Amino acid sequence: MTGVGLGIAFANGGNSGGTDIIALVVSHYRNISPGRVILYLDVIIIASSYILFRSVEKLVYGYVVIGCYFLYFGFSTGGTETVFPNFGVFAKQSTNS
């Protein structure tokens, strides 16, 4: 639900604060989508949480959660290619033989 809500807000020029504002500023000055900036920031934040918790299980759980979050975010903003551009799971297969 959160990913869909954030996707709708972004599609209409809004944000929810926090890292979203950083992402919108970076995307304004660089040729990078806000979704990708948020994904990079979230990866850094979750990776740095290892210092506090010292738990690989919590890292894996965190990465699964943001993966699901951004999957829904991408679908609600018009496609996952804006967030996950190089993942073969979302790539269209060519039918040329």
Query: Considering the chain, what is the average pLDDT of its residues?
Result: 76
Helical ranges in the chain per DSSP H: 2-11, 19-29, 34-53, 56-76
pLDDT digits (tens, 9 = 90+) for 45-85: 999 999 998 989 999 999 998 888 777 766 655 555 545 54
Q: Label residue 88 by pLDDT band (50, 70, 90).
A: very low
Q: What is the pLDDT of residue 48?
A: 93
Indicate if the pLDDT at residue 94 is higher than 90: no
Domains of the chain by residue range = 2-83
Q: Is the pTM of this model over 0.85?
A: no
